[in-house]
């Protein structure tokens, strides 16, 4: 027969083994891009939105994003530009 300590150790191993697959499936939070943007590549339009002046590539949460000239940028990039390009 197994002693009490062996049952406790077996229970601990089963508990840990059941948690590990769930931990492996969790996606890490994307970190905010820390790239310094070229303020020369953007301008504000009449509505106050940031728009690209030329074709530009910036880093986003999923990798590099290419933005064509004249296109307003998304909200996250708007906030980054507001903070950096005053």
- The rounded distance, in Å, linking the Cα atoms of 44 and 11 is 62
Q: Which residue has the higher pLDDT, 6 or 68?
A: 68
Is the CB of residue 66 less than 8 Å from the CB of residue 55?
Answer: yes
pTM of the predicted model over 0.75: no
Q: Which residue has the tokens 């590539």?
A: 57
How far apart, in Å, are the Cα atoms of 76 and each of 51, 58, 72?
A: 13, 12, 12
The token pair at 44 is: 């504000």
Q: What is the pLDDT of residues 10-30, one digit of tens each?
A: 776 676 667 667 666 655 555
């Amino acid at each position: 027969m197994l002693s009490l300590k062996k049952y406790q150790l077996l229970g601990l191993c089963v508990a840990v083994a059941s948690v590990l697959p769930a931990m492996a499936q969790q996606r890490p939070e994307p970190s905010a891009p820390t790239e310094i943007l070229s303020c020369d590549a953007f301008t504000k339009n009449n509505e106050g939105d940031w728009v690209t002046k030329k074709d530009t590539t910036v880093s986003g949460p999923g990798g590099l994003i290419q933005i064509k000239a004249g296109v307003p940028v998304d909200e996250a990039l708007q906030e980054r530009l507001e903070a950096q390009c005053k």
